[in-house]
Amino acid sequence: MHEAAVAENLLQSIIAASTEHSDKKIVRVVISCGQINAINDEAMQFAFAAVAEDTICEGAILEIKHIPLKSQCRKCKLEFDFDFYSPTCPDCDSGDIAIGADAPLLLEEIEFEEDD
């Protein structure tokens, strides 16, 4: 359960990134993250809603995109999205897999409320 710390950091990044629009409320936030340090969507949304209270993010919708982990079979060179539940090559079934770098947690998009 590291979602609370992640949510707090995320909130600080959002506030820092939105200083130009400081009087506007945020309605939607999109983040992406990788697979190894994957966050639980439900726990993250709950944690974010809690830290967002009384800030410009209060009530904002949080969308979480999970970026697949790229990997390549060392045997047949097939590139595919790594799956922790079946860690073998989908083509030749080899377990000799080179796993790429995990995607970091990124703030992708902030949507502000419209002017009246």
Q: Summarize as ranges the residues that interact with Zn ion (CB under 5 A).
A: 73, 75-76, 78, 89, 91-92, 94
Could you tell me the two tokens for 21? 């629009």
Report, in Å, the least distance between residue 38 CB and Zn ion: 25
Which segments within the chain are labelled E, that is strand? 26-33, 61-66, 69-73, 79-82, 97-99, 106-112
The CB-of-83 to Zn ion minimum distance in angstroms stands at 14
Q: What is the dihedral of CA 77, 79, 82, 88, to 10 degrees?
A: -30
State which residue, 59 or 95, has the beta carbon closest to Zn ion: 95
For Zn ion, which is the closer residue by CB, 6 or 73?
A: 73
Q: Of the two residues 79 and 108, which places its CB atom closer to Zn ion in the complex?
A: 79
